[in-house]
């Protein structure tokens, strides 16, 4: 079974702190994604990575950066956390599927609260 794990289920941080959210998948997937989920807004794509060290902005990248130094790990970084970044963060991975978009496998999510 594909396993996508996220470093924390719940996280509380202070405004201005640098925050790292880690995601690890164990199925050698090429593509990895970070979303945030907010009530009434569904899932919105922050960043995705299609290979090691390769990344692309999603729909709402402002205030975030990402890092993918190893294939299995994709990190989301909040350089200076703000209260409007309080949200549920979901990581997903998928095989490359250049011709056909395959299904994504999701982690359990990290609920981040910024005070």
Which residues form the interface with other proteins (CB under 8 A)?
31, 33, 35, 40-45, 48, 50, 54, 56, 58, 88, 90, 92, 96-98, 100-109
Dihedral of CA atoms 18, 36, 109, 20 in degrees, nearest 10, equals -10
| Residue 41 vs 115, nearer CB to other proteins | 41
| Residue 3 vs 18, nearer CB to other proteins | 3
What's the CA angle centered on 12, arms 10 and 13, to 5 degrees? 140
Helices (H), the chain: none
| Residue 102 vs 113, nearer CB to other proteins | 102
């Amino acid at each position: 079974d594909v396993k996508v794990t996220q470093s924390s289920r719940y996280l509380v941080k202070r405004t201005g702190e640098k925050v790292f959210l880690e995601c690890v998948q164990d199925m050698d997937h090429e593509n990895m994604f970070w979303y945030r989920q907010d009530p009434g807004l569904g899932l919105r794509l922050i960043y995705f990575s299609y290979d090691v060290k390769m990344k692309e902005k999603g729909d709402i990248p402002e205030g975030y950066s990402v890092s993918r130094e190893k294939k299995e790990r994709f990190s989301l970084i909040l350089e200076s956390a703000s209260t409007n970044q309080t949200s549920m963060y979901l990581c997903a991975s998928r095989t490359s599927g250049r011709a056909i978009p395959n299904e994504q496998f999701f982690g359990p999510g990290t609920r981040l609260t910024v005070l």
